[in-house]
Amino acid sequence: MPELVRVAVTVNGRAYERAVEPRLLLVHLLRDELGLTGTHVGCDTSTCGACTVRLDGETVKSCTIFAFGADGREVQTIEGLARDGDLHPLQRAFHEEHGLQCGYCTPGMIMAATAILERLPEPTDDEIREGLEGNLCRCTGYQNIVAAVRAAARMEARA
Amino acid sequence: MSVPELRATIVAPEEQETEVPQRGFVGQNVPRKEDKRLVQGQGVFFDDVKRHGMGYIHFVRSPYAHAKIVSVDVSQALELDGVYGTLTGDEVAILTDPFFELSTPPGAHIQDYALAVGRVRFVGEPVAAVVAASRELARDASELVEVEYEPLEVVVDGERALEEDAPVLHEEAGSNVVWSGSFDWGDYDAALEEADRVVRIERLHFHRFSSTPLECSGALVEYNRGTGQWTMHCNHQMPGIGAIWMAPSLRVGLDKLRFVTQDIGGAFGNKICLHPYFVACCLLARKLNRAVQWTEWRTDQHQANAHGNERTFLDIEVPVRADGTMLGFSVRAIDDCGAFPRYEPLGAIIWAQVTPGCYRWRNIRVDFTQVCTNKSPVSPNRGYSRMQHLWLTERIVDIVAQQLELDPVEVRKRNYVRSDEMPYETPNGCIYDSGDYARCLDIALELIGYDSLEEKRKEAESRRKLLGVGIGSTLDSGTNNFGQSQLVNPELQFSGNNEVATVKLDIFGEIVVTLGTVPQGQGHETTAAQVVCDILGCTPDDVNVRPGHDTYWNSHAGFSGTYASQFAVTGLGAVKGATEKLAAEMKKLGSVVLGCTPDDLELAGGTVRMRENAEAALPFMALGAILNANNAGLPEDLDVTLNCRYVYRPQFEVPDLERKFGNLTLTYATQIHACVVEVDRETGAYEIVDYAAVDDCGNRIHPQIVEGQVHGATAQALGAATHETFPYDEDGNLLTPNFYDYHVPHAMDMPPLKNGFIESPSPFSPLGAKGMGEGGGAGIHATCAAIQDALAPLGQPVVYDSCNPYNRVWELMRDPAASASLVTVESRDGSRS
């Protein structure tokens, strides 16, 4: 067995420490070691974006980063979006606009969209599509995903 | 049943007695029940399920497309610390029987096992399996498995596979042919005589691709030594058929296989043929006495799980009258199913559900041959087999229109089956239940502004762009009559169809629904609740529909699953039947308690109450509690369980096997798509600049879900039409084994879609609804037609392939004569062009 490395990481505000194989990917740390299975895996080439999380605020595909690369850093996953039982505006909007079908791409899609709305509070459809280009969906044709991000922007503007 | 008999069974809408109130939740966009967990990352997909001490499976796969296996040595892998065990083809050959084949000979003789036995036949075929404490370790250990191969000659082309000197994949079959048969309906020779022109197309090719669900396949499998039973937490989308394949192979009874699914990350037919992998998992769980998990890698899914059928159409002949009326067609089809048939040769008959497409063609002759090649096996893929055939019918219409200088819109309208002819019997006995194709086409054309097309062409021309418009017409035939399998093999004991649901009233008044289906995003929990609450007089929030599927729920039957566009008919038909049974029982129990007759009662407001006196009411909770926990004094003969199971069974006959004639599906949803492309004059790069999809699936249970299905199916079609393809090199290597090389549409690739809907209720289905998830193929047809239209000024090239990336369009532009020469027109005054 390879030698293990220690990783101390804060995920959704909670501190974790684990000894892991150096080659363990962040996505597998989250899913298999920490039990945060909302972050998904859809490819082996960092193309699909199902594993998108926020790392110190940056959107990253968690399959492109070794777990030890998150050492000493903060991760936010889909499980950390709702507050006190209230859905995040993007979660509400995906639900209301039918922005998901099977739900497999949804966590990554929503995490990517959080970054779009932080950068562009009133994004155009083209800006939304550009912002989601790294996330694949095989169910929706993206039409209602774009509508959901638009709707979430409106909700946040009202809030 | 004949058409007159069927007609007699149809009740006019105003005369229909329906249990479903007119203004209920059915037909409304109620909030999806599935979403709350899915948007929070709280869904449970198979890879989210873990067990203490479990092992991870990694398959050792063939690097060769065709080779003899000389030896497999797992000893080094077994020595690695943390490796729990292995499985080889030799063990599989001893411990299991080959999966049964659906085909008659020669395909019947093919031997298909969970792992390669003696020979590999495609790159990526599993040769051995390794189980270890982590997925990384299992992968390491698989590198230590030594397999010696002796490469054999490779065949990757369906036509080449038929040649005398072609290498044969399955020696026991003696030939690469799986199945062949000819179909001859109407009087094709007379149609040829009657024609003013005969259009001949030398060859058309429908390419390989698949829907590539974002979640790969897999299962966590546990073996219970005490009972000899396996539990598979998995994403199989058709467990009924999966068990029928697996149990005899494993030499156990069906009940030894428990399939459990909750959330599934898309399937699209690609998760129907998982039985070889699952048998390997079962053998390993038993051998190692340990829970094991197999999670397919993306590369494996592309190389070795499920492609859509590739089909080459040869010697197409179309007799046409001068006014553009087509009398039928004849064709020779070669279908390439890859290395193993598995669900095939059902694809060799499924197309016959839509034999004449949307058209009134009465004389059709099809010679169909299915072959094996050294490529990934196929499996049903959204639009399965009908999509390939409908692409042919649509290509025929557009090529004939081009050759005879007719307007493709007018030709379609002239040839479409008309709404006043519904229900319409096709030449092979299928019954198109309802629809209005011409009206759908008008709506689609209006959505893309067809009236101002010529101005748009000129405007595009000023930018050096060629603008083209194309139409795609399809039928999404849903709710199979499995009797059609007997048309490929009369020995098969399959016919009809069925689906199951149970609905119960629990002790605290909760309504609990279990489905036999295996949803993958289609919103079954939501639509089932809509149907239930309308019958029971409550709201969707009062109805708990269990997510997913579990064999232990006993709510499944032989054809249970989610496939072939049928939930709105079979699944909801079962839900409706079970709920009506429960409603009757609730009234019966209520009548005993309230001292009246069941007819005096109604279900409303979450109670059973007197029609004449709403104050005399029992809440659901009282009914549930009385029967389940407080039943002393109830009459001995009160036969009420408040737990009702219903099997929905559509009315089908076994087809006439001599004439190959009969009704093969219950409902036909319509999709008419219109596509506008702009092609760059210099490079062939093109963009879809406008797109409309019009859908008619009868009564819509949940319009938003229907629209979502249309969007998704269209996106898959546009992906397939433009970029998605599984090409092989001559050595049998797949050139697009991942999402880098296999380009599925991204958000920026998709044009905004315009949608239109009409509702032509099905007279044959329980709710007037039709299955509708697979109609997206229209997008392939429409895109091909639009490209052909755009390029017409350059010398009338013919779009001959279903996939047209920019380089192929550029080739069509560069040498239009090459493709144009595929088509000839014979005039019956003797001239030929």
Interface test with A, best of B29, B32, B35 (most A CBs within 10 A): B35
Is the model's pLDDT at B10 over the cut of 60?
no
pLDDT reported for residue B630: 95
B468 occurs within a structural domain: yes
Mean pLDDT score, A102-115: 98
Is the model's pLDDT at B16 over the cut of 60?
no
> Rounded to an integer, what distance in angstroms lies between the CA atom of residue B217 and that of residue B264?
9
Find tokens 């190389």 and name the residue: B303
> Are the beta carbons of A103 and B265 separated by less than 8 Å?
yes
Strands laid side by side in the B55-61 sheet: B83-88, B126-132, B55-61, B292-295, B218-224, B229-234, B257-261, B549-550
Q: Which of B242, B262, B295 is the last residue of a domain?
A: B295
Contacts of B526 in chain A (CB under 8 A): none
> Are the beta carbons of B41 and A95 separated by less than 8 Å?
no
Torsion of CA B136, B137, B139, B145, to 10 degrees: 170
Q: Which residues contact A14 (CB under 8 A, 6 or more apart)?
A: none
User: Do B26 and B54 sit in the same domain of this protein?
Assistant: no
B4 occurs within a structural domain: no
Is the model's pLDDT at B256 over the cut of 80?
yes
Contacts of A50 in chain B (CB under 8 A): 214
Asked if the C-beta of A15 comes within 8 angstroms of chain B's C-beta atoms, the answer is no
Alpha carbon of A103: minimum distance to chain B alpha carbons (Å):
5
* CATH of residue B140: 3.90.1170.50
Alpha carbon of A72: minimum distance to chain B alpha carbons (Å):
24
B159 occurs within a structural domain: no
User: Do B502 and B588 sit in the same domain of this protein?
Assistant: yes
Write down how long chain B is.
833
Contacts of B522 in chain A (CB under 8 A): 101
Q: Which residues contact B545 (CB under 8 A, 6 or more apart)?
A: B33, B513, B514, B515, B524, B525, B526, B528, B529, B532
Asked if the C-beta of A137 comes within 8 angstroms of chain B's C-beta atoms, the answer is yes
Specify the 3-state DSSP secondary structure of B756. strand
Domains (ranges, CATH) in chain A?
A: 5-80 (3.10.20.30), 89-158 (1.10.150.120)
Task: Confirm if B43 and B553 have CB atoms less than 8 A apart.
Answer: no
Nearest residue, CB atoms, A143 vs list B212, B264, B711:
B711
B631 occurs within a structural domain: yes
Secondary structure (H, E, C), B602-646: EEECCEEEECCCCCCEEEHHHHHHHHHHCCCCCCCCCCCCCEEEE
Is the model's pLDDT at B755 over the cut of 70?
yes
Find tokens 């499980």 and name the residue: A79
User: Do B222 and B204 sit in the same domain of this protein?
Assistant: no
Contacts of B216 in chain A (CB under 8 A): 42
Q: Which residues contact B716 (CB under 8 A, 6 or more apart)?
A: A138, B211, B268, B382, B776, B779
B490 occurs within a structural domain: no
| Encoded tokens for B500 | 């199951």
> Rounded to an integer, what distance in angstroms lies between the CA atom of residue B308 and that of residue B803?
13
E strand map for B15-62: 55-61
Task: Confirm if B337 and B454 have CB atoms less than 8 A apart.
Answer: no
Q: In chain A, positions 29-58, which contact chain B (CB-CB < 8 Å)?
A: 31-32, 36-45, 47-48, 50
> Are the beta carbons of B82 and A81 separated by less than 8 Å?
no
B187 occurs within a structural domain: yes
| pTM (2 d.p.) | 0.96
Q: Which of B295, B329, B347 is the last residue of a domain?
A: B295
Specify the 3-state DSSP secondary structure of B363. strand
User: Phi and psi for A70 in degrees, rounded to 5?
Assistant: -95, 5
Alpha carbon of B39: minimum distance to chain A alpha carbons (Å):
5
Other CB atoms within 10 Å distance of the CB of residue B6: 17
Alpha carbon of B48: minimum distance to chain A alpha carbons (Å):
6
User: Do B669 and B801 sit in the same domain of this protein?
Assistant: yes
Chain A residue with Cα closest to B774: A139
Alpha carbon of B216: minimum distance to chain A alpha carbons (Å):
7
Q: Which residues contact B659 (CB under 8 A, 6 or more apart)?
A: B429
> Rounded to an integer, what distance in angstroms lies between the CA atom of residue B426 and that of residue B465?
41
Report cis status (omega within 30 of 0) of the bond before B213: no
Contacts of B41 in chain A (CB under 8 A): 36-39, 77-79, 107
Nearest residue, CB atoms, A77 vs list B41, B135, B712:
B41
**Which residues constitute the domain of residue B284?**
46-152+217-295
Mean pLDDT score, B130-146: 96
Alpha carbon of B305: minimum distance to chain A alpha carbons (Å):
15
Alpha carbon of A14: minimum distance to chain B alpha carbons (Å):
17
Torsion of CA A81, A85, A89, A91, to 10 degrees: 70
User: Do B516 and B626 sit in the same domain of this protein?
Assistant: yes
User: Do B323 and B391 sit in the same domain of this protein?
Assistant: yes
pLDDT reported for residue B15: 46
User: Do B525 and B452 sit in the same domain of this protein?
Assistant: no
B641 occurs within a structural domain: yes
User: Do B706 and B809 sit in the same domain of this protein?
Assistant: yes
pLDDT reported for residue B9: 47
Mean pLDDT score, B166-176: 97
Task: Confirm if A75 and A54 have CB atoms less than 8 A apart.
Answer: yes
Count how many pairs of residues, chain A against chain B, have C-beta atoms within 8 Å.
178
> Are the beta carbons of B748 and A37 separated by less than 8 Å?
no
Q: How far is CA A105 from CA B37, B82, B558, B824, in A?
A: 13, 33, 31, 48
> Rounded to an integer, what distance in angstroms lies between the CA atom of residue B221 and that of residue B202?
50
pLDDT reported for residue B12: 44
Contacts of B264 in chain A (CB under 8 A): 102
Find tokens 């009465």 and name the residue: B362
Is the model's pLDDT at B21 over the cut of 50?
no
Model pLDDT for residues B546-580, shown as the tens digit of each residue: 999 999 999 999 898 899 899 999 999 999 999 99
| Encoded tokens for B44 | 């449970």
Q: How far is CA B399 from CA B87, B417, B634, B809, B825, in A?
A: 53, 20, 73, 17, 11
Model pLDDT for residues B788-804, shown as the tens digit of each residue: 999 999 999 999 999 99
pLDDT confidence bin for B20, thresholds 50/70/90: very low
Q: Cα A30–A34–A39 angle (5° rounding)? A: 35
pLDDT confidence bin for A159, thresholds 50/70/90: confident
Task: Confirm if B647 and B557 have CB atoms less than 8 A apart.
Answer: yes
> Are the beta carbons of B215 and A21 separated by less than 8 Å?
no
| Residue type present at position B425 | E
Chain B residue with Cα closest to A40: B215
Contacts of A148 in chain B (CB under 8 A): none
Asked if the C-beta of A19 comes within 8 angstroms of chain B's C-beta atoms, the answer is no
Chain B residue with Cα closest to A128: B747
pLDDT reported for residue A1: 60
Contacts of A133 in chain B (CB under 8 A): 746-748
Chain A residue with Cα closest to B32: A95
Mean pLDDT score, B109-128: 98
> Rounded to an integer, what distance in angstroms lies between the CA atom of residue B684 and that of residue B711?
26
User: Do B195 and B136 sit in the same domain of this protein?
Assistant: no
Asked if the C-beta of A140 comes within 8 angstroms of chain B's C-beta atoms, the answer is yes
B215 exposure class (CB count in 10 Å sphere: 0-12, 13-18, 19+):
buried
Write down how long chain A is.
159
B118 occurs within a structural domain: yes
Q: How far is CA A122 from CA B159, B385, B585, B751, in A?
A: 55, 44, 55, 21
User: Do B325 and B364 sit in the same domain of this protein?
Assistant: yes
Nearest to B470 by CA among B649, B227, B674: B674
Is the model's pLDDT at B19 over the cut of 50?
no
> Are the beta carbons of B266 and A129 separated by less than 8 Å?
no
* CATH of residue B339: 3.30.365.10
Torsion of CA B13, B17, B20, B26, to 10 degrees: -10
> Rounded to an integer, what distance in angstroms lies between the CA atom of residue B56 and that of residue B43?
22
Nearest residue, CB atoms, A91 vs list B39, B47, B266:
B39
Task: Confirm if B89 and B121 have CB atoms less than 8 A apart.
Answer: no
> Rounded to an integer, what distance in angstroms lies between the CA atom of residue B107 and that of residue B482?
19
Alpha carbon of A109: minimum distance to chain B alpha carbons (Å):
10
Is the model's pLDDT at B18 over the cut of 90?
no
> Are the beta carbons of B40 and A42 separated by less than 8 Å?
no
> Are the beta carbons of B36 and A102 separated by less than 8 Å?
no
User: Do B203 and B287 sit in the same domain of this protein?
Assistant: no
> Are the beta carbons of B265 and A32 separated by less than 8 Å?
no
Is the model's pLDDT at B6 over the cut of 80?
no
* Beta-ladder partners of B146: B73
Is the model's pLDDT at B439 over the cut of 90?
yes
> Are the beta carbons of B263 and A82 separated by less than 8 Å?
no
Interface test with B, best of A33, A136, A139, A149 (most B CBs within 10 A): A139
Pairing status of strand B511-515 against strand B543-545: parallel
Specify the 3-state DSSP secondary structure of B686. strand
pLDDT reported for residue B526: 98
> Are the beta carbons of A136 and B264 separated by less than 8 Å?
no
Asked if the C-beta of A129 comes within 8 angstroms of chain B's C-beta atoms, the answer is yes
User: Do B316 and B271 sit in the same domain of this protein?
Assistant: no
pLDDT confidence bin for B710, thresholds 50/70/90: very high
Q: Give the number of domains in chain B.
A: 3
Alpha carbon of B478: minimum distance to chain A alpha carbons (Å):
19
Model pLDDT for residues B355-383, shown as the tens digit of each residue: 999 999 999 999 999 999 999 999 999 99
User: Phi and psi for B786 in degrees, rounded to 5?
Assistant: -65, -40
Mean pLDDT score, B600-618: 96
Model pLDDT for residues B461-472, shown as the tens digit of each residue: 999 999 999 999
User: In percent, how much of chain B has pLDDT > 70?
Assistant: 97
> Are the beta carbons of A43 and B268 separated by less than 8 Å?
no
Torsion of CA B457, B462, B465, B468, to 10 degrees: 0
| Residue type present at position B152 | L
| Residue type present at position B559 | F
Q: Which of B295, B329, B348 is the last residue of a domain?
A: B295
Contacts of A132 in chain B (CB under 8 A): 746-747
Mean pLDDT score, B626-647: 96
pLDDT reported for residue B23: 63
> Are the beta carbons of A138 and B704 separated by less than 8 Å?
no
Model pLDDT for residues B473-498, shown as the tens digit of each residue: 999 999 999 999 999 999 999 999 99
Chain A residue with Cα closest to B50: A32
